[in-house]
Copies of this chain bind each other. A is one copy, B any other.
C-alpha cells in the first residue's frame, strides 16, 4: 500500500473497503492496515497527537473491520454459550459482555464483545480472525437449530471524555443513561443503528454500529458535525492508550496457543457454571495444573521507543530466555516505555528485573502491575 497515493491504497478487490473508507480518506487517513480482510485506517499523521486527541477530547475511528457474527434461531442462546467459557446465564437482553472464544484445547480464537440483542439474537463483534467459519463449523454437527451469518453491520468507535456530550447532541440527553457495557437500538435521521457503551480505549466511549452499509458517508459526517464544538478529531484506535489500559490485541498479545489463565483472565472462565462450552475439559485441567507462563506489564528503561515494537522482543533473565514482549510503546503521558509481555511464571512477580533484547541493543525492564494508567477504575476493564 502506497502512503502517498490516496486514490489507490490496495491491489484489487481481494481486500474489502469499509462503508466509511471514502470519508476517512477525506478526513486525512494516510495509511491503512488490514484486519478481517478489510482495510482499516491506522495513520492520521502523528500517533502521539491522535493519543492526545483521544484523552483530551474525542476521536472517531472507523472500526468496520470489527465484523459481526450474528447468531439467531431457536437454539441461539444455547449455541452461543457453547462458544465461550464465560457464563452467559446472567447476560440480559440489551447487555454486552467481553468474552473469549476458545477451541477444544482451551486456546483463544478471538476476544469479541458479545451483544445480546434479543433472547435468541446475538452478535460477536470480532477481533481479527474468522470466527464466522469457526461458528459455522461448530454448528455442522451440533444438532442445534441456529443461523449464523455476517450481517451488514459496520461499527464506528467514538471515544474520549467528550464522547458523552457528542452522543447527547446526536441522540438527546437520554443516551447518558446508557450504562457501561449495555446497548440500545437507535436511529439517526432514519439511519438504523445500535449504540453501545463499549470501546478499545479505556476512556469513556461508545460504539455506533451502522446497519445499512450504503449510509456510511452520511453517518460519519453527521457525527463529525456534532463533534465540531467538542474538539472531535478523526482518528484511529490508539496503541498508546490501549497498552496503558492493559487491553489486548489478538495475534499480538495472544493467539490460539494462549489460554485465558496465562492472561490472568480467570474471571472470563466459569468452570462451575452448569452450561457446557468448547474447551471446558481442557481449561479445567489447565486450571488444576496451573500455568507455566503469564502475561505481565513491563516498564522498559532507556530513551523513549521510536514506535511500537514490530517484532516480538526476547525477554531474558541472566542471559536465559524467559519469554517475549508482545506489545510495547512509549507513553507520552506516563513518560515511560510500557509493554505487555508473556514470560515464564517464575519471572512474573511484580518487581522482577529482566532484560529485553530490543531491535537495536538491550534494555533493563521491571515487572509492574497492569493497567499502567487507570484514572477511573470502573471505565478501564471490560465488563
A233 within 8 A of B: no
Q: Which residues does A use to contact B, with CB under 8 Å? A: 1-4, 8-17, 31-34, 37, 42, 103-104, 109, 128-143, 239, 249-252, 256, 278, 307-312, 326-327
Q: Establish whether residues A327 and B239, one from each chain, have CB atoms under 8 Å apart when the complex forms.
A: no
Are A13 and B252 closer than 8 Å at their CB atoms? yes
Q: Distance (Å) between the CB of A80 and the closest chain B CB?
A: 14
Q: Which residues of chain B come closer than 8 Å to A252, judged between CB atoms?
A: 12-14
Contacts of A33 in B (CB 8 A): 1, 10-11, 15, 34
Cβ distance A65 to chain B, nearest Cβ, rounded Å = 11
Do the beta carbons of B250 and A14 come within 8 Å of each other?
A: yes
A256, B139: Cα distance in complex, Å: 16
Distance from A219 Cβ to chain B, minimum over Cβ atoms (Å): 20
A104 to B12, CA, bound (A): 29
Q: How far is the CA of A299 from the CA of B18 in the complex (A)?
A: 29
User: How many copies of this protein are present in the complex?
Assistant: 2
Q: A1-B1, A8-B310 are in contact. List 18 more A-B contacts (CB 8 A).
A: A1-B33, A11-B42, A11-B239, A12-B239, A12-B252, A12-B309, A12-B327, A13-B310, A13-B326, A17-B311, A34-B34, A104-B136, A104-B139, A109-B133, A133-B133, A135-B137, A136-B137, A138-B140
Task: List B contacts of A239 (CB < 8 A).
Answer: 11-12
Closest Cβ–Cβ distance, residue A34 to chain B (whole Å): 4
CA distance A4 to B5 in the complex (A): 12
A1-B129 CB under 8 A given contacts A239-B12, A311-B17? no
Q: Provide a sorted-by-A list of 16 A–B residue pairs whose CB atoms are within 8 angstroms.
A: A1-B1, A1-B33, A2-B3, A3-B3, A10-B33, A11-B308, A12-B308, A12-B309, A13-B327, A14-B251, A37-B129, A134-B136, A136-B137, A137-B138, A140-B142, A140-B278
